[in-house]
Structure 1
Amino acid sequence: MDWLLTGGTVLRDGAMVEDALALTDGRVAEAPDARAMRFDASGLLVLPGLVDIHGDAHERQLQPRPGVDLPAGLALRDSAAQLLACGITTAYLGVTLSWEPGLRSRAAWRALKAALPEARARSATDLRVHLRFEADNLDALEDALDGIADGSVHLLGFNDHTPAIVKKLHDPVQVAKYAGRAGMKAGDFRGLAESVMARREEIPAARERLAAAARAAGIPLLSHDDATLDDRAHYRAYGATICEFPMAEEVAADARAAGEHVVMGAPNVVRGGSHLGWASAAPLAERGLVTVLASDYVWPAMLEAAFAMVRRGVMDLPRAWALVSANPAEACGLADRGRLAPGLRGDVVLVDPATQAPVAVFAAGGLAWLAPGAVLRLRR
C-alpha cells in the first residue's frame, strides 16, 4: 500500500519544512500515487526512522531473570515489537559471543541465529546482528566465521572484556554477578575465567581471521571501549573504522581526525552522563567528537536523546536527529536509509513535538505501528 503523509513538518535536506511526504513501493517518492492512503500528520514531526547501531536490550527478553531463559523466537518477536514502538526501523542487535556459559554463550548464539530468519521475515523493523566477539572466546571462532560467511552477521565488533573481569575475581559481589549471568558457581566461574586468559597469545591470529572474513563479506568492523591511542591504532590496522564507546576524549578526537565515526550510548545523554563514570556524550557530540548515539541497553533512549540534545540549546533538531539516523546509517554503509529523500527506504517515525513520543512508524513504506488513538489520522 502506498501512502501520503500530509500536514506535517518534514526533516528534508537538513531542514524542517512543512511539506507532504509520499511513500510508494516501499520508498520515499517524488509524488504520491493517485490511490495512496493518506495519513494526517498535522502537528507532527515527520522524521527518518531510527538506525540503532548497538542495542542489547533484547537480552532482557532472552533472560528476564538470571538463569531464566526464554525461547529465542519468542524473545525476538517481543524485541521487534518494542523496537517499532520506539521508532527504531533498523536495529543491529548487540549479540555478545563470549566464553561465558549462559546468556552470551556459543549455545545461546546458535539458538538466536537459528531463530533469526523467521524473526526477520516477520518483523517490520530490519533486524540485523552486531556480533560482539569476545577476544578470548577462541573455542567459538569457527561459529563467528560461519555467521559472517552465511550472512547472519552484519557488523563485527572487537570486544575484550576478559582482563577487566579477571581483575574483579577477588570481589565476591562482582564474581556473583558474572557467575549468576553464566549460571555457574562462583568458584567454577573463577576457574573458567583464568583458563581462558591463559590462551591470550592466540588472540592476534584469531582477530586477523575475523577481520579478513568481515572484509571479504563487505561488513563493517568496529572496536569497543578503546582506552588509548594505541588501542585505536591497533584496531584500525584490522580495518575497524568505527570507534565505539571510547574511554578517553583523545581517542575520540583521534578517530574523528581519521574520518571515523564515534559511537556513544543514548542513555548517557538521557541520564546526563555515563553510568560507569566515563565521558559525558552530549558535550562531545556538540563538539563533533561523537557522531552516533546508540540505544546501548535502553531502546527508548535513542529518540529521547535526540530531543535532549536539542533542549541543551546547541544543536537544532536536524543535526541532533542525524546522530540517531543518518550518521549510524552512514557508519554501517547503509546508503538507502537514515534520510528522507526520493528513492530511499520509506522508514519514517512521526513524533508529537509536545510529548516527544512516537505517534506512528512506517517501515519500508508500510504502516508498522500506531499509538493509541492515532488510527483517527488515517484517510482514504
Structure 2
Amino acid sequence: MNYKSILFEVFRSMRANLLRTTLTMIGIVIGIGAVVAIMSTADSVTATVSSELEKTGLNRIAIGRRFNGGTIRILDDSTIHFLKSLSIAGVKDYQGSISVDSQVRDYMTGEAARIYLSGATESTMDNLNLKMLVGRGVITEEENQSQAKVVLVNGTLVKKFFHSDPEAAINQIIKIAGASFKIVGVYQADPFSRNANGIVPLQTLMTQPFDSNGYSQIEAVLDPNADASSVREQLLAAMLKKGGFTDEDKANFYISNPRQELNTFKQFMLAASVVIALIAAISLVVGGVGVMNIMLVTISERTKEIGLMRSLGAKKRDIVKQFLLESVSLTIVGGVIGVGLGILVAYATISIINVFDSMPDFIFTISFPGIGISLLVSVFIGLIFGAYPATRASKLSPVEALRRE
C-alpha cells in the first residue's frame, strides 16, 4: 500500500466516526490550546515590559543611596562633577534626581493619600516619556529656578480625588506635606514605569517642607552602543574610590543596570511560562491515553478489515503505517485546532487587560516557538500512544481475523 491510499483510508475512517474522533481530540485540543495560550500571553507581557522599559531608558544606569544606616556620602553636585572628571567611555551625561514619599490631601475635602514625588527639570522631563491625559507635560526652567509649587499627577490620584475626571483636576489645589500645589498636568499611570505618581520641579524638593538632603540618585546617560555592564563596573569602582569604601561597604548604595534587569526578567518569564505550560501539558498525556484507547476500540471493530487487508497482500508494516498515521492524524488535527484556540484565548486575555485604563497597552504577540513545539509534541503523542495499538493490529492472524464476527 502506498501512502496516498493509506491516508485515504485514515480520513475515511475518521469521517465515518466523526463524533468519536471529536471526543478523542478534546484532550489534545485543550492541552495544546493551554500551552499556546500561556506561551503567547507570556510573550505578550515580555514584549510589553520590554517596550515600556526601552521608552523609560534602558540607556541609563542609576546610582542611588540605600537608607540602611550606611555611611555613604550624600549624592550632590560634587558627586556629579567627580564622575564627569573620570570621562568613563560610553557615558554622555550625568543627571541628579530627587524622590520623596509624602502625603497629599485634597484642599476642599481634606481626604488624604500617600504620594511618591519625583523632582524633574525641563531637560529631564523628556526622559520620563509620560503619556499625558490633559494639561502640560513639562516643568519649565523658570518654575525650577523659582521653586514653584506646581505638580503633575497621575491618573491614580485623579481617580481618588476627582472621580476619574482629569479635566476637573487641572488648576486645582492640593496639599502636599502641608504646602499648597497647583495641578498643571495629568498623566497616565503605568505600573511598568519607574515614574512617581507626582512630579514637581527638582529645586522645589530642596526647599520647605521637603528639605531633601542631596540627590536620591544620579543617573548616568549612556551612548546607544555603550557596554552597560562595563560602565556599571567602572561606576562601582569610582564610587568606592570616592567614598574610600571597601567591598564590604557596597551595601550602602546601589548601581542599577536596567538592561541586565530586563534580561533577568525575560529569563524569569520564559522559565515561568515553560513550567506552567508543562503543567498544562499534563492534559496531553490524558489526551494521548484517550487516543490509545480509541485506537484499540477501532482495531477491535475493524478486525475483519485487517484480516482482509492481510489476505490481499498487505504486510505487517502496512498495517502499522495505517494505524500510526490514523493516530498521528488525530493528534495533529487536534493540535491545529488547539493552536487556534490558544491564540484566541491569548488574544482575549490581552484584550481584557487593555480595557483597564491603569494598564499600558499590551502588545499582543503570538509565540511561534510555542506553536512549533506544541505541534511537534502532538505528533510525538500520536506516535507514542498509537504505537501499541498499531503493533497489536499488525500481529493479528489473517485467518483468525477473518473468522471473527
Please say whether Structure 1 and Structure 2 have the same fold, judged by a TM-score greater than 0.5.
no
Q: Name the larger-Rg structure.
A: 2
Structure (1/2) with the larger helix percentage = 2
Structure (1/2) with the larger strand percentage = 1
User: What band does the TM-score fall into relative to the shorter chain?
Assistant: under 0.3
Larger RCO (CA under 8 A, 6+ residues apart): 2
